[in-house]
């Protein structure tokens, strides 16, 4: 495919890619390209069908006065605020929607004491920040700690690690013992997967690392520390490895 055409945001690739402009008829729409909403005449746009050269998906775009987009964003923000109030009521009246926390608070606190760092200390080197453990609270995700615009879901991280530890233990009695280094990699992924944004919306992927650290502004959680802590606490060191 020649690299010909304008870069446009492809909703499937979720990035700007070269997209060919096509007639709307290619997307099964009428040929006309100038549209408006009869009950909102200011919402008038120029329609194009676009074909992404990366993923070949076909989508429609609307060339429109940007102020309409600003209005959309303001409305979205407003709607989110209204829903936030409703969500509080919905969850408080339906306990089954809230995760039952089975990780003891002391364990969650110890995890934070052993993994939290502060990166702008006057010494110039990162220092451990055990006092963060005082800030743990219970959200619908279970034990949670906020770091600026993100929340680390420490209860979920430990809980998912415990499932992994149990797989390791089951393996040891079926003669199928994993290497500790492989277990550690899996634990690290569970820790990196337990982060939410400031709306308490858990990220679908894994939080990025800087060295061994998930950086939250000047704060961090060291995922190596986290995996080592879980392994040390789990007692699996007592198992006999070949
Ligand atoms: Zn695409």
Spacing, Cα 41 to ligand 1 middle (Å): 31
Cα 42 to chain centroid distance, Å, stands at 37
Parallel, antiparallel, or unpaired for β 58-63 and 34-37?
unpaired
Spacing, Cα 19 to ligand 1 middle (Å): 8
Q: How far apart are the first and last CA of the chain?
A: 53
Which pLDDT score is estimated for 172?
A: 84
| Phi, psi angle pair for 118, to nearest 5° | -120, 125
**Radius of gyration for the alpha carbons in the chain, expressed in angstroms and rounded:** 25
% the chain with pLDDT above 90: 75
Whether 146 has a pLDDT exceeding 70, the answer reads yes
Spacing, Cα 12 to ligand 1 middle (Å): 5
* Contact criterion met (CB below 8 Å) for 154 and 195: no
Which pLDDT score is estimated for 241?
A: 66
Question: H or E segment at 143?
Answer: strand 142-147
């Amino acid at each position: 495919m020649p690299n010909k055409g304008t870069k446009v945001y492809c909703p499937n690739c979720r990035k700007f890619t070269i997209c060919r402009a096509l007639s709307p008829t290619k997307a099964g729409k009428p040929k006309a390209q100038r549209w408006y909403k009869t009950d909102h005449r200011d919402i008038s746009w120029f329609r194009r069908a676009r074909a992404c050269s990366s993923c070949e998906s076909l989508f429609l775009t609307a060339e429109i006065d940007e102020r309409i987009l600003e209005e959309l964003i303001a409305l979205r923000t407003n709607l989110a605020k209204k829903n936030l109030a409703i969500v509080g009521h919905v969850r408080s009246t339906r306990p089954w929607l809230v995760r039952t926390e089975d990780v003891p608070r002391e364990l969650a606190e110890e995890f934070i004491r052993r993994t939290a760092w502060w990166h702008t200390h006057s010494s110039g080197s990162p220092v451990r920040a055990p006092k963060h453990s005082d800030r743990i609270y219970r959200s619908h995700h279970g034990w949670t700690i906020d770091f600026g615009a993100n929340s680390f879901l420490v209860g979920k991280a430990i809980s998912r690690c415990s499932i992994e530890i149990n797989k390791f233990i089951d393996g040891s009695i079926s003669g199928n013992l994993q290497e500790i280094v492989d277990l550690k990699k899996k634990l690290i992924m569970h820790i990196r997967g337990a982060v939410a944004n400031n709306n308490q919306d858990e990220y679908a992927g894994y939080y990025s690392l800087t060295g061994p650290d998930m950086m939250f502004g000047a704060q961090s959680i060291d995922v190596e520390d986290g995996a080592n802590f879980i392994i040390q606490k789990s007692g699996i060191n007592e198992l006999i490895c070949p």
